[in-house]
Structure 1
């Protein structure tokens, strides 16, 4: 255990300053902090001094309140706030959890008014007070995130307080945190290798209904066939499978994997001939639900659109041969290889009666075909014809027909059916015959 020994070096303390909060917690655990919070007499001067020493850039976050920030090399961040005389202990007692209610002096003396060091040793996550948690209900989400990212156990009374806060948020008794703040907690949780457990913890605490209510619609919805889990737990397991295999997966892929079947509850039907449950169109419905929910969480538009596109494509039929593999790559190139990663995680999270070894082996072979085709042609080849070429060849004005002809030529080129401008022209003319 790294706790309380092998402490990493710290940057120079600003004059008269204290290190406070999570950076002290991490330092005591033997983890080099990435985000430093300093309480200093003169934040502006301290920020300039830190920047000069570390090679970073200082700027004011809130000049009126005297909040400053320094972006240091290596992605390390330093926030500086005013240190008021005699106010340190009171400030620590207003914090979220005891393990964050710590301060460190330049002489490496730890200020610990709430028993945070004992909780660190016990790997226990305990609120400073229920009043503090309710004063900023986002701390309930943070409890789930810290439990996963720190590997601590949520203390029972803190868990009860988080559940009560979730209940009161749903009832309108407490004001809901800004979507951007919930987004940041979710992004930090999903960035962790054990994010799937964090999603289950959010559900246990009653917070998932406030965050991803559409995802909860799959709880208890049996699927059968390839699936051994209900719709909700299948999505969580798919996220687990993704991160076990692709720990570098970006946020859009993580969100898409968790939400890939979010449309199933609303697409649920029954095949009258077989009596089996069907989910026709769930990819289309899930695309819109994913886009709507991630937009409400204020995720960047590029992340929203990529996650939605992955959800829309996750039911794509994998190719049975090399030619079909080249076509697959051509049509879905912008989503590769992430789409294959999602599809693999989806399949590995499905261990129902229809998911026998031969089917799983055939699926992996199909993925290998696509990967081979992608390796053979990692980027689209230069176009053989331009729009002007097509218009002159077919005596067409600008319009959809020109674009359609160009797309057909591009696909034929990707499949190796045309390899020169002359062959491309003959191909275009043959389509008009």
Structure 2
């Protein structure tokens, strides 16, 4: 049984509430995205914006599409009312979206969408509609997770055929930005890990994240009980179970943290054991390439790649090392710890015994304590000009190196004043001079 239906905003004159907004209301969920078919989209958009305190702007002036953003993430889209509403509904993706609600709460339902809502069933309107816009194959996987529905057999078979034809080049691939948006809607859900498995089962992951699939069947041993691919998906599950508010760059980094392992795999000639040296570096480069291909904002790409690059950083054994860890990786915290924790919790192999897990937790506590003690980097004690004057050196890399040395000593509590910072640098210079030239 669906929940009691929530109140709806006033309908614009002559409007129909269509698609997802009508679907969510019928299942007792308050819509956040409203799709309206109206006689005059611009007038309706401006009226809603004025009444509810939002901003109205054209999405596509040529076609007359308008959008209104309201507080708390509510969005209203307005499109021209079609000449034949039923025909328009019959061109939609799934029966649960081929619904329209009138102002008097009458429902237009030409495909039996209400029965599918009650059965929690995801059924295509037609296979031709899926082929007309192959992005709907990704949407099927997303709706299974976000709506909690299940694809009926004929629709699942059609989605698999669409995936196969996309792979064979018989259908055009959707724009990367549209695929990204579907992936982000899926990744934003608490059960995103199941969605990744579903993309794989439907043949869509190979079209989306082929690099991630390289880990299928790549065994690891040691701390790990899963292959590289399954471990990455399980790490995402562990992350979301503990940090449901994790941002998208953190979710991406957790899913992809070991994506470099298949290409880094080697064998130690002495022990014969499988190795994955440099997989963090390779993985960071692959993460950057994947997310750039999906057209993520550059700042999010860099953040996710940096987390992948740093996820193998050794945790500190003492308080001083914890302060150093925080100083060197401050910009990635606390997200880096969250990736590392998810990585560890997704590994339950023979070497992952309770004592090691306890030691890992204690090391994380040390880092969190150091971060709490010094949540922001202390104000610099010296400037570049100070360093150049003190050491009598020109601008260049040596100045930056000296400033970094002072900043780290300051973070560790070894220097507290400008005078102590100057003494540190002069001592470094004396030590370097006293070493003299190498013996020949």
Specify the SS of the correspondent of 1:201: helix
TM-score, scaled relative to structure 2: 0.97
Q: Contact 2:82–2:88 (CA<8 Å) still a contact in 1? A: no
Quick check: 1:220 aligned with 2:206? Answer: no
Partner of 1:284: 281
- Cα distance between partner residues in 2 of 1:196 and 1:373: 32
Greater shift in the superposed pair: 58-67 or 104-113: 58-67
What is the distance in 2 between the residues matched to 1:388 and 1:214?
A: 47
Quote the Cα distance in structure 2 between the aligned partners of 1:257 and 1:247.
13
After the TM superposition, which segments of 4 or more aligned residues of structure 1 sit over 3 Å from their partners?
none
1:166 is aligned to 163
Question: What do the CA deviations read for 1:43-97 (whole angstroms, capped 9, x no partner)?
Answer: 1111122122222222111122111111122221111111133x11000000000
Aligned counterparts of 2:311 and 2:44: Cα–Cα separation in 1:
51
1:63 counterpart residue number: 61
Matched, 1:242 2:270: no
1:39 is paired with a residue of what secondary structure?
A: strand
Report the counterpart of residue 99 of structure 2 in structure 1: 102
Structure 1, unpaired ranges of 5+? none
**Counterpart position of 1:231:** 228
> Out of 40, 43, 50, which is 1:42 matched to?
40
SS across alignment from 2:57:
strand
* Match status 1:388 vs 2:385: yes
Other-structure match for 1:51: 49
The answer to whether structure 1 residue 401 and structure 2 residue 398 are counterparts is yes
1:268 paired residue number: 265
| Structure 1 partner of 2:205 | 208
Measure the CA separation in 1 of the matches of 2:97 and 2:181. Answer: 18
| Aligned-partner Cα distance in 1 for 2:341–2:288 | 22
Residue 174 of structure 1: CA displacement?
0.2
Matched residues in 2 for 1:15 and 1:74: separation? 25
Tell me how far apart the structure 2 counterparts of residues 327 and 312 of structure 1 sit (CA, whole Å): 18
Q: Contact 2:259–2:283 (CA<8 Å) still a contact in 1?
A: yes
CA distance in 1, matches of 2:71, 2:239: 31
Kindly report which structure 2 residues correspond to 1:275-314, keeping only aligned pairs within 5 A, or say none: 275-314=272-311
On the 8 A contact 2:215/2:228 being kept in 1, the answer is yes
Partner of 2:327: 330
What's the secondary structure of 2:285's corresponding residue? Answer: helix
Match of 2:134 among 132, 137, 148: 137
SS in 1 for 2:283: helix
Measured after TM superposition, the shift of residue 300 of structure 1 is 0.7
Could you tell me which runs of 5 or more consecutive residues in structure 2 were left unpaired when the two chains were aligned: 431-440
Aligned CA RMSD, in angstroms, stands at 0.7
What is aligned with 2:354?
A: 357
Question: Match of 1:29?
Answer: 27
* 2:37–2:79 CA contact under 8 A, matched in 1: yes
TM-score, normalised relative to structure 1:
0.98
**Is 1:371 aligned to residue 389 of structure 2?**
no
- Counterpart-to-counterpart distance in 1, 2:183 and 2:82: 33
Task: Tell me the matched-pair count.
Answer: 430
Could you say which residue in structure 2 is the equivalent of 1:343?
340
